[in-house]
Chain A
Amino acid sequence: MSDRRYTVLVCQGTGCISGGSEQIYSLLEKEIESSGSNGGIHVKRTGCHGFCQQGPLIVIEPEGTFYTKVKLDDVTEIAKSLLPGGKPLERLFYRDPATDKPIPCYHDIPFYSKQSRTILRNCGNIDPEYIDDYIAQNGYQALHKALFEITPDEVISEVKRSGLRGLGGAGFPTGRKWESCRKASGEVKYVICNADEGDPGAFQDRSVMEGNPHSVIEGMIIAAYAIGAKKGFIYVRAEYPLAVKRLKIAIEQAKQKRVLGNSISGSGFSFDIEIFQGAGAFVCGESTALVCSIEGKRGMPKPLPRPRTSEMGLWNKPTLLNNVKTFASIPLIISNGSEWFAKRGTEKSKGTAVFSLTGKVVNCGLIEVPMGITLRKIIYDIGGGILGGKAFKAVQTGGPSGGCLPESMLDMPVDFDSLTLAGSMMGSGGMVVMDVDTCMVDVARYFLDFTQRESCGQCIPCKLGTKQMFEILDDITKGEGRPEDMELLIELSEAIKRSSICGLGQSAPNPVLTTLQYFRDEYEAHIHQKICPAGVCMVQNEGN
C-alpha cells in the first residue's frame, strides 16, 4: 500500500525467539492495530538478522532504525514511537562497545557495514512464511529464466563459469559436479540438499533455511532442471525444528504458485521436493552416509572403493548433493550472471563465504564476507575484537574437521585453499574465536571427544584411533600426560588421516595436529610442569 510509512521487521530466528520475539511480534501487531495508524505501519516477521547476540532484534524501515535486546515491556513504547510526533527510542539503540555511543541505524554499525551480504541479503528482510515477499524481491525469476530462456547445458556452463565451489566445506567445483551428474546415464536422478549442519559452532545453514527458504528451493529446482531430475530431498537435522517448519510452508506455497510440482509454470518440467529429517548423526553430513540414511539404514559411509554419488547415489541412481548455501547461491548466479558472481573473491575461491562468528569475540553472529578477506578483518573489524579486551589466542574454523590458527596467521586470506594449507579448512563455516582463557589442549580434547562419539564405528582407524587419541588428551588435561604422548598423538594422527574411509575420520586429527603445531608450549606445560596455562584443566586443582 502506498500510504505505508514504516515496515517493522521483527526477527524470528531461533536466537531471537529464545529471547521472546514471538510474543514481541504478536503484541506489537496488536498494539499497532489498536493505535489507529490507518495501515501506515506494517509489522513483519523475518528470519535471522545475523546479530543474534544483540537479540531480540527489531529493524524499522525505510530508515533502518535498529533496536537491540528488545523486551516485551518495550513494545508499547515502540508502537507509540511510530505514531505521528513519535521519536526513535534511543535506549534500544546499539551502542558502540568502545565509545558507548548509540548508533541508530544498522547500516552504520561496523558489524553490518563491513560485511557483503549476498546469500544472506534477504534473510532478515523478507517474511520467510510468505512466498509473495520472496517473489517481490525478484524471487523465482532465475528459475523462469532457466526454464524459458536457456538450456540445461547453458545453466551448467553458467555455474561453471561463475567458479562457485561447494559451500558445505570441501569446496568441490559445483559446475563440474552438475556436469558429471547430467552426463551420468539413467532416466531417474535425484537432487539432495545437504542441510545436516552437524558441525558444532555453526548455524549458517539453519539461518538461511529459516530466513529465506525459497532461495534454497529455487536453487534446487534449477539444479534439477540442469541435470534432469524429477525428485529432490532436503536432509535437515532434527535439531532444527523451525527450519523444518519454514521449509514445509515454503514447499506448500511454491506448489500453490506452480513453481514446484507438475509442469512448473507450464514449462513441461516437473520436480518435487520432500523433507527428510536427520536423526542426529554427525557422519550423515558425508554424502554416502546421508544417502544410506534416506534409504532407511544406519548412516555409514559406503566402503572404498566407492562410486561418486553423482554417478551412483540414492537407490544407486545418479544423485546431485549440494549444501544449503550452494543452492541458495544459484538463483543469484543465474539472474545476475557468472561474471557478476566471479567479481568477488579470489582467483580460486569465488563469491562470498558465510560464517557463524562466535566464541570470545565482542560481536557474535552470522556474517557474510567476500572470499579472500583476512581473518583479522573478520575478527577485529566485524567482530569488534576480543571480549573484555583480552588477548587473542586462536581462531578455530571448520569445526571438528578443521584446526586452530594462531595470531601469526591472522593476516592470511580466508579461502578454501589457504585454510587447507594452514592445516584447517573452510568447513561449513563455523568460526570460533578463542582468547587467553581458552586452553588449547582442552579444545583438542573437546573435538576428539566429539569425533570419537560420532564415529560410525565402521573402520578401525577412526573407531579406535580417535578413542585412543581422546584418552591420551584426557590424560594430559588431568596432569597425567607422558613426554612421549605428543609424538604418539602425531603418529596416530598420520595413521588415521591415511587409512580412514571417509572425511570424518580423515580430518578428525586436524584439531590435534594444529594445536600441536601452533601451541606446543601448552602441551608441554601440561605434561612437564603439570600446569594448565589458561587455568581450564583439572591439573591446577590437584595442587601441583
Chain B
Amino acid sequence: MTEEELLTEILASYRGGRGELIPILQEVQNNLGYLPEDVMLGIARFIGVPESRVYSVASFYAQFRLLPLGRKRVTVCRGTACHIRGAPQILNEIERTVGIREGETSDDLEYTLETVACIGCCALAPCIRINMDVHGEMTRENVTGFFPALSESTRNENEKEKDVR
C-alpha cells in the first residue's frame, strides 16, 4: 500500500474535526513510524487547517517524528529514579555500542536511539524499552547484551565515522 492509500484508509474513520488532528497523526505514525511531509499536507487538507498548523502540532509533541524510525526503537528512560541509579551511563554505553547518539537513527535503519521523560517503571530503575518491551535493572554490563549483532568492527567503524564528522 502506498502512503497515499494508507492515509485515505485511515482518514475514512474520521469526520475531519479539528479535535481529531492529534489522533490522526498518532494513527499515521503508528502505521508508518513517522510523519512524512506529504502525509501532513494531506491531513491539513482533510481537516481544513493551514499546513503550518499541522506542522506546529507535530513539532510540539515529543511523540511525533518527522524522520523514519529504525526497526529497533531503543528508548532510554531519563526519569528521576533512573537518573540517580545510572541512566546517563546506560545511555552512554548504548551510544558507544550502537554508534549513534540520542535522537539519531542508524544509516541502515536498524536502530533509533531516543530518551523519554519517564517510562513509569521506576521501581526497576534504570530501565530501557526496545520497541514495546521494557527491560529493568540495567547495568553497563547487561545492556550491551541487547545489541549482539553489532560486532566490535562495526563499532570501530562507527567510531571512526563519528571522528570524521
Contact = CB atoms under 8 A, between A and B. Distances in A.
Interface in B5-33: 17-23, 25-26
Interface in A188-210: 197-203, 206
B149 interface: no
A500 to B, nearest CB: 18
A168 B26 CA distance: 26
A430 B120 contact: no
A17 interface: yes
Interface stretch (B75-83, B105-113, B154-162): B75-83
A403 B63 CA distance: 28
Contact of B127 (A18, A360, A430, A432): A18
Nearest to B20: A296
Contacts, number: 145
Contacts of B136: 15, 18-19
Interface string A244-281: 00000000000000000000000000000000111111
A391 B158 CA distance: 42
B81 A432 contact: yes
Given A18-B133, A52-B124, A359 B80 contact: yes
Contact of A239 (B64, B80, B116, B123): B116
Q: How large is the interface on A (under 10, 10 to 19, 20 to 34, 35 or more residues)?
A: 35 or more
Nearest to B118: A200
A18 B61 CA distance: 26
A324 to B, nearest CB: 12
Contact of A298 (B60, B116, B117, B119): B60
A280 B81 CA distance: 19
B56 interface: yes
A354 to B, nearest CB: 13
A381 interface: no
B62 A280 contact: yes
A244 to B, nearest CB: 11
A446 interface: yes
Contacts of B79: 200-201
A279 B18 contact: no
A198 B117 CA distance: 7
B135 interface: yes
A201 B124 CA distance: 11
B57 interface: yes
Contacts of B60: 281, 298-299, 456
Contacts of A443: 80, 83-84
Interface string A436-467: 00100001001100100010100000000000
Interface in B109-165: 116-125, 127, 132-136
Contacts of A358: 80-81, 122-123, 125
B124 A279 contact: no
B80 A200 contact: yes
A293 interface: yes
A434 B83 CA distance: 11
Given A201-B118, A202-B118, A359-B84, A53 B63 contact: no
A297 B123 contact: no
A513 B132 CA distance: 38
A280 B61 contact: yes
B80 A18 contact: no
Contacts of B117: 198, 200, 280, 282, 450, 454
A175 interface: no
Nearest to B49: A296
B85 interface: yes
Contact of B135 (A18, A52, A278): A18
B22, B25, B84, most chain A CB atoms within 10 A: B84
B121 A430 contact: no
Contacts of B25: 279
B76 to A, nearest CB: 12
B134 A17 contact: yes
A299 B64 CA distance: 14
Interface in A350-378: 356-360, 364-366
A366 B123 contact: yes
Contacts of B122: 201-203, 356, 358, 364, 430, 432
Nearest to B78: A200
A446 B21 CA distance: 33
A296 B21 contact: yes
B85 A359 contact: yes
B119 A239 contact: yes
Nearest to B77: A200
Interface string A219-256: 00000000000000000001111000000000000000
6 contacts: A201-B79, A203-B122, A238-B26, A279-B61, A279-B64, A296-B57
Given A14-B121, A293-B22, 13 more contacts: A14-B119, A200-B79, A201-B80, A201-B122, A202-B118, A238-B26, A239-B116, A278-B61, A279-B25, A279-B62, A279-B64, A298-B61, A438-B84
List 8 A-B pairs, minimum CB-CB distance, nearest first.
Answer: A280-B62, A279-B61, A201-B80, A52-B123, A200-B79, A358-B81, A203-B120, A364-B123
Interface of A: 14-15, 17-19, 51-53, 55, 197-203, 206, 238-241, 276-282, 293-299, 356-360, 364-366, 396, 399, 430, 432, 434, 438, 443, 446-447, 450, 454, 456
Interface of B: 17-23, 25-26, 47, 56-57, 60-64, 78-85, 116-125, 127, 132-136
